[in-house]
Structure 1
Amino acid sequence: MRFVRRRVGLALVGTVVMGVPPALGGVGDTPLPRFSDGKPAVLVLTVPGVMKRARLQTDFLCTALDSVPVDIGVEIFDADGTLMNDVQADVGAVLDVAPGRTVTVGTSATAAFLETIIIPLPSISQGSARVVATSARVRCNVMITDDALNPPVTLATLGEGVRPAPGPIPAAFPLPQFGVGRPATHSALIPGVVKRGRDQTDFLCTSLAMQNIDVGIQIFGPDGTLQNDVATGNGAVLDLAPGATVTFGTTGTAALLETQVITLTGVAQGMARVVSNSDLVACAAFVLDSALNPPASMSGLTE
């Protein structure tokens, strides 16, 4: 197995990262790369909610399951969908990973883990990532971690995210219209949403579409009562650009940068519904301590 530690400088010019192929539309439709050995990549995993923000960093732990060595890479996209590293230039790539071997790709070195390679990046509030490889037979877990302490103050897992399906979920709750009169057509349910004291919930949603879409978060109390009105813009972002990531919060938090805070009364424990006019959106959700950075507690939510 050959560990690639080549580093390249990054410089921003407008929305272009020098030395990095331009992203056509972020994680959803940027062409898959080739590795430096000329082998083409296939998609293994798309991950919303990736972050590199102060002590909060992201580690990708990937195991090769094929019968021959494979190349594995991680591409990081910032909140507006800009590709931040070039796997073809060996930035974020590990070549010739032997069968059964596990590699760890990090946005920073951490006290808790031993990273195989580090991707040199500027600070990224909340964005997305794509794991690519020369074989689909690669499996990965992704973690948000406090990079300064062992054990970490914060440790939470990321996955492919919640993705909406056609129609209302639950069926008894009609889908809303967005403020521009466009109806929501897709939804996904996230149980276990919390707004109680310092315990709050953030939703990090990445567009995988090739055109602008509308995305909203509806919060329901324990008794099923809707707590916010997406039609008035409370919990809605309109015309989310391809590849962009938006963060909704039940409050502003010390650790994350919220695009929009949803105005709510206390919810205790309820549910949330992701609504959109497209199925091409993926959302990660976390319950976290809103007062501290890094959070003293942080746990992922799923469907």
Structure 2
Amino acid sequence: MKTLIILLFVIKLISAKPTSIVLWHGMGDTCCVSFSLGGIKLFLEKKIPGVYVNSLRIGNSTVEDFENGYFMNPNKQVDYVCEQLASDPELKDGFNAIGFSQGSQFLRAVVQRCGHILPPIKNLITLGGQHQGVYGLPHCGALMYPTCDYIRQLLNYAAYDSWVQDTLVQATYWHDPLDEEAYINKSIFLADINNEIRVNKTYIENLNNLEHLVLVKFDNDTIVQPRETEWFGFYEPGQAKKIVPLNETRIYLEDRLGFKKMQKEGKLVLISIEGDHLRFSDTWFVETIIKPYLLN
């Protein structure tokens, strides 16, 4: 009888299906082609035999998916994805989620806004996400500071106009530390999901229901400015030089996303890697992401 029980247990382990995975690509990428997230999807399927991977396509085609990364209001994108995930039978037993670049904060918004009505979201892994927004241009460090700052001012002049917020995705996570009031009052996406306008307790509860929130920062990132935003760090309000880490930000000190509890319970994981934006090796991905967080 004991042998039979052990045999049945082993059979159950062998036949157990791996936890499904949801991917959301970043700006300038698409869901499905081999040189974009289609390649990541194939890699995961190879490394985790039998796993179901849903690489999110926002729209009816790859072309639409690419365009929507620039021009579809993120709030509408999040609603669209919430409906997709709720109707996907392959996710009924729960799933892990991986966001790439701006897909990081978009998937976090999915967790916060509809996590309580979706199957259990186990681990959310964000690679190079702009969680506190951006205030800078790619490779802007190559410019003289006054020139760079002038371009920032031009962007700020239009970034918070309502029509720009509604039609340009990147404007919705543009964060001007020189005018925090404008950012908080006029950002239609990031200020909301960071609970900076008012505290939404559902957002906090849904984040705390994760097994882990894994934030990966690329130490030599030349695309995301400041790169510390990938760990929720950002410029100290009122200037654009000094950067404060997560535990000195308003979000943390006022516990607007429940990070203190998550940190105490070991759910908030900060990982750094040398290299530019989203540059990592297969070996690093297997050892640092797949083995600890996706094989559950």
What range is the shorter-chain TM-score in? under 0.3
The structure with the largest helix share of the pair is 2
Flag the structure with more relative contact order, 1 or 2, with Cα contacts below 8 A and sequence separation at least 6. 1
TM-score (norm 1): 0.27
Q: Which is richer in strand?
A: 1
TM-score (norm 2): 0.27
